[in-house]
A = this chain, B = another copy of it.
């Protein structure tokens, strides 16, 4: 009997996944949480062996939750289950110590198998995403560039961004210009979108 923890901010999806996995005779959902920062505590209390983690969650990212699990409960394995198969996500998930990465597009019947493999110590990674993540390479963005791009995501004017990070307007423009060059974009909005698509933010 493999003991599972589910972390997803959408209650309906969480409950549905629980129903799906409980159909398997060798799987048992022992905990469910809707926030990233509740994962470790719930995992400890429930004695979960495998944690299925969504990435977009309030409190803490699924990837960050996987890193925390690695530190606090090294015996627990984590499997990222997410909507967005962004190349950078795969890389960061593996670096955070996750044992698997599955997108929500995969057929439902394959999920239980992925869980079993992760539980037995194998790595489960979507082959297409692994390839993309390799050819793409790691993020070329510096810390500042990444930070400023996240603020540029909604199309804020440079002045607003500069005020938010307490920097000169010219400096912000320069960092963003560098980011635009690295992403191959022509405007900061486009650069921000591209960076997000690749999981660089």
> Which residues of A does B touch, CB under 8 Å?
9-20, 23, 81, 83, 102-109, 111, 154-157, 186-190, 192-193
Contacts and interface: CB of A to CB of B under 8 A. Distances in A.
B157 A10 contact: no
B155 A193 contact: yes
Given A13-B13, A20-B16, A154 B108 contact: no
Contacts of A155: 155, 187-190, 192-193
A12 B111 contact: yes
A111 B23 CA distance: 19
Nearest to A107: B11
A84 B192 CA distance: 22
A186 to B, nearest CB: 7
Contacts of A11: 104-108
9 contacts: A9-B105, A11-B104, A11-B105, A12-B107, A13-B104, A16-B20, A19-B23, A154-B190, A154-B193
A81 B156 contact: no
A10 B105 CA distance: 5
Nearest to A155: B189
Given A10-B83, A13-B13, A155-B155, A18 B189 contact: no
